[in-house]
Structure 1
Amino acid sequence: MARRALILVEGHPRGNGLRYVQAAQRLGLTPITLSADPVRYDYLAAEKLEAIRVDTDNLDALIHECSRLRATYDIAGITGFAGDDESVSATVGKLCRHFDLPGPNPASIERCCDKFVQRQLLAEAGVAVPAYRLAADATEAERSAAEIGPPVILKPALGSGSCGVRLCRNIDEVTEHTTYLLGGKHIWRSSPRILVEEFAQGPYYCAEIMGNEVLGISAAEFGRPPHFVFRECTFPAALTDDEYERIADVSLSCLRALGLGWGPTCIELRWTKRGPVVIEVNPRLAGSPTPQLVQLAYGVDLITEHIKLVIGDEWDLRRTHSQTAAARFLIPDRDGILDWIDGDSRAAVVPGVAEVKLYIEPKSPFVRKGDYRDWIGHLVAASPSSAGTEAILQRGVDLIDWSITPFPTLGE
């Protein structure tokens, strides 16, 4: 009998990739990664996992590779990771349709990944979103910002991980950031289009959804503006019953408006003076360490349950306990060479700390990007109360230290 395989399109270097592989193995599946550059994912070599180099932007090439694998394996399901290119999610949907396997609707995914189209569909459905405009150059961006009224957010119409996203407090900053985005430093995966939108101010929340069920809502804090780099994330958020219901209702309205509702979705919102305003709908599982937080808080393993859905099995989203789990991200305040970082082993044994993970090795160069790549590690903790979890996190963070030597300046 042929071994059952789970095909993973691309991976995730510092996030959920290894967890998907391990969950697949626990379910008796052979994980096989298809990637344009398998070397990106250290865990593939470390775990001696099968990986095949293939152009993952080429649907025909992926179909050919999966057809070849079917001669050896029983392909139980196909899934993948958005990473820094959310088009992977749509590609996975197309592969699933071709091979008659359970999967998301690729057309819905593509509409959702285009943030301008997403905004249009949500607004047409009566979902509260920030005021927005689409700009192709600096003149249009400046005019749009003036119409909306600064401060505004500028972001690529296609993208993820907060890459290229910036708060612009005046027209000069709009011009500056537009010049940066269009000047060749930002990597565009499609024709350059900039979304200019109102800065919706208020606490940030994210609804974690599987299928049409809101599993819970997290809260997060960002580092210093003008960028939006997560500093801390807590699950579940401290909300009143009414606040929870309003966010859940808006989130389910998003699914209906965008034709989603298969598999995982995470919906980002701000609680403003007019209530919950949708910032972004992501047709995928939230990045690491959110799945760990959900599992620590409620006992629901989102990754395992997602794989069950992918292979056509029944999932189980029942909560088995209730705690507060939180993650704190380690973010340096300067660029340079990381001389040393230590204390992670001490932090890992603090009671209540569930995980300490460092992303960067000593002697490595480090340059802040203003997005998720600014993290050099994270800590995860859980306890029966939010105050207890926060105290545990702080004890762990206080044990970790590092030194960065700034890059030499011209003339030194």
Structure 2
Amino acid sequence: MSNVASAPEIAALPTGVGGIAAPEFGPLVRTFARLMGGRSGAGGALTVHRHGEPLVEIWTGEAGRAGAWGPDTGAVIFSATKGIAATVIHRLADRGLLDYDAPVAYYWPEFAANGKERITVRQVLSHRAGLYGLPEIANGLDEVLDHRLMEERLAAAKPDHLLGVPTYHALTFGWLLAGLARAVTGRGMAELFRTEIAEPLGTDGIHLGRPAAGSPITAAGFQGNRLDFVGSTYISLFLGRAYGLPGSLGAASRALFLPGLEAFLDGDEPPILDTELPAGNGVCTATGLATLYGALASGGMHNGRRFLSAETVKAMRQVESYRLDHALFYIPMMWHMGYHSLPVPGAYSGFGHIGLGGSFGWADPRSGLSVGFVHNRLSLGALTSDQMASAWVLPLAVRGARAARRTATLAESVAA
């Protein structure tokens, strides 16, 4: 695809931006070009679909050693991976292999250890299992990289006093879903991402970890300091001592911090790419994410075929808890089963999941819109603004979609 308009309905794009966009999305495209372009080694991509039809598919910048960003460039989407892992579980539930209100231990008998026999699938999906703590299950990076070990440790673990209370399971969420899915299917999450998500949707743009040999998708290298300040002696000491603190600071440190974990991101071939971390190491293109969430925004339909039942999509849209999240400093996450809502204009009726650095996938069933946004910047200086990318992407996407709908209605009236 070119950045030169080839038809009246396709806009000319700013210099350095590739892809296509309807003219009504000019403000979104220009903002994307300004905020995501022009930084050495950094780049990103943004896709907006309506009922699966592309309205915007654009990219800009560089993907590190992978070269210029293109339509087949994927990025590590960190916690946005959780939405994909949750969709795997919903696919299994849709076929009657799981019941949301059944105990996890019914399917995964080892999980009943240490008083967990009543924890339900619904509680796990909505971050209420009381199993968010890393220090309770892992002693360092080598153990965290062993996803089968993490599944076993969580099966044996004891929930803490926040069982039943929304408390972000930053990394453990993925291993919990993986253990449950493995108990039901006998397969790991990397395989299930392929067989339950990518293949049924006909997309190459969704992977767990490094894309397999032969895949057209390349993983962008990280640009920035990769948050290595977390590993400094003073920060590490502080966070380690915070484990025992009451309230949100203690919960956040236990959910997010383990000494040495920052080495996950080190080097040109970071270890995060070579494990199964269904809470944090999805490698996706923007179009891959928009394709997945497009099915969720369209009542479970994709290209005229049923991906999920309407009943399951209805269950996915439901907010499970309005209580403030104890590990995210009492932010009102409005957890769904595997997703969250956002108090952002253009996002009120939708759901999806944002990851570290701001990459996200989003569905709005009322309008049929789906959005995928990915990039490779990860540095302290840009973290706050990048994390809030949804606050400009979603309102501008909704505004563009409304303008495009008005244009289409006018064209139909003229034709009639």
Compare the two structures and name the one with the higher helix fraction. 2
TM normalised by structure 1 equals 0.25
Compare the two structures and name the one with the higher strand fraction. 1
TM normalised by structure 2 equals 0.25
